[in-house]
Structures are given as C-alpha cells and as structure tokens.
C-alpha cells in the first residue's frame, strides 16, 4: 500500500538525510515539498492523503484539515504536536503521529549542564538540588499542571527544555519582576519576537538556542521514527499516534 500524494510543509531538504527521503519516496506515488509560506499549499492539500509538517514554522489548523478532503495521515517532525489541531483531526478520522523520546538523553544532558553552568559552585549546586531548589518540567501540558509557576518557592531555578506552552508567560514574568526565581530555557524560536525581547530584559532569565536535542544520535533517531511512523500507518499499525 502507498499514499497517493505526500505533501511536506516547512521541511527543507536538510531536515532529513537523503536515504530517508528516498525511503519516503517508496511510500507514495508523488511527493510535493513546499515552504511554509508557499501560495500553493491550499491547492495541493485538496488531493493529498498524507501531510508532513514542521510544527515550529507551520500550524495545521481546522480550516486546512477541512480543505484536505482525502487526508488520512499527518506526520509531525517533532515531539510537540500542538501546532496541529489533533483533536479535530481525530473527528475527521485523520491520524496524527509525532516523534517522542528521540532526544531524551540529549535534553537531560543540557538540563544538568544548565544547572552546573548557572551555579559553578558544584558543592552548593549538589546541596540545592537535594533541597529541590531546581525544577525542570517533566510533565505534560494538561489542566492539572496549570499555575505551577505560582507554586514554586522563592529562589527556585526553573529549567524548561520542553515546549514553551508548558509555561504561563504572564505568571513567569510576574515572578521574574519580583526577582525571586531564575528561569532557564531553550527554544526561543517558539516565542514571538516581542515575547523573546520581553523575557531577555530580565537578568534572571537565561536563554539558550534550541540545542538540547541536537546530538548525532538524536538526529538519526528522529529521522528513523518519522519515516517509520509513515510506514507503520500504511501497514495499518500506526505508531506514536497522538489522537
């Protein structure tokens, strides 16, 4: 079984090694690659049965899902998938799959590197970690975890190497204004320019580029899972389905 037409949106050639592009091409009769702002997106969606998106640069909303009458599968080239209206996709019997777990170790390494870089005094850092002065979000974006920033004790260091939607930016800025927490995060690319500039004003806000997942092992694992999700859907055994 093959797809009739795969569209990739915002996924440049450099995002996948050539071998993975070739493997993908064996899974479809036709593949169209489009930049995030292409005027051709809506036209090509009309007969596409598979859409692959880069969620950092493109949002796949209800309107686009409705436009794609033949759509069966949406593949997200990331762990986070909120850029896709996955709940509405489920109502239209469209499967949405993401790429979980490909960079867990790499991101954990950056989390601890951030702690050590912030403290420098390793003995002091060791003591503070034991007394929970550090927190890294290791939970999902759900109702039960709302307003957690207000519950952090004074002088806490919050490290967020997860998607920014986990954090209430207004509540965060209120704490930064008080000067009673330190916030360390990567993925400023997920923020608007105004949001990034606003947070950068605070000395206690430390911003890293999105490097947590950028190891050679994670890069390969990401590609393997991404293409395997497409293969497994065609085998009627979808993997990493989020809806």
Q: What is the CB neighbour count within 10 angstroms for residue 193?
A: 8
Q: For the chain, list the domains and their CATH numbers.
A: 6-102+217-234 (3.40.50.720), 104-207 (3.40.50.720)
Q: Residue 66 is encoded by which pair of tokens? A: 């409705």
Write out pLDDT tens, residues 148-162: 788 888 888 888 887
| Structure-model confidence comparison of residues 119 and 21, the more confident one | 21
pTM passes above 0.75: no
Question: What strand order describes the sheet that includes 73-76?
Answer: 31-34, 6-9, 50-53, 73-76, 95-97
Write out pLDDT tens, residues 74-130: 999 999 899 999 999 999 999 999 999 998 888 888 888 887 777 655 455 555 545
């Amino acid at each position: 079984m093959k797809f009739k037409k795969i569209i990739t949106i915002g996924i440049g050639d450099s995002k996948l090694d050539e071998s993975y592009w070739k493997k993908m091409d064996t899974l479809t009769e036709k593949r169209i690659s489009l930049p995030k702002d292409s005027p051709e997106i809506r036209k090509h969606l009309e007969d596409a049965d598979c859409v692959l998106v880069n969620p950092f640069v493109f949002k796949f909303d209800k309107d686009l899902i409705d436009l794609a009458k033949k759509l069966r599968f949406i593949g997200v080239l990331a762990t986070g998938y909120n850029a896709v209206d996955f709940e509405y996709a489920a109502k239209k019997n469209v499967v949405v799959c993401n790429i979980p777990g490909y960079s867990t170790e790499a991101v954990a390494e950056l989390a601890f590197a951030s702690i050590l870089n912030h403290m420098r005094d390793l003995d002091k850092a060791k003591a503070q970690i034991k007394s929970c002065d550090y927190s890294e979000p290791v939970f999902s974006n759900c109702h039960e975890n709302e307003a957690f920033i207000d519950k952090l004790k004074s002088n806490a260091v919050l490290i967020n190497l997860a998607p920014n939607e986990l954090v209430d930016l207004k509540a965060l800025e209120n704490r930064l204004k008080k000067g009673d927490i330190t916030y360390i995060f990567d993925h400023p690319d997920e923020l608007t320019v105004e949001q990034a500039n606003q947070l950068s004003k605070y000395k206690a806000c430390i911003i890293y580029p999105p490097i947590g997942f950028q190891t050679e092992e994670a890069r390969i694992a990401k590609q393997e899972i991404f293409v395997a999700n497409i293969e497994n859907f065609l085998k009627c055994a979808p993997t990493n389905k989020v809806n």
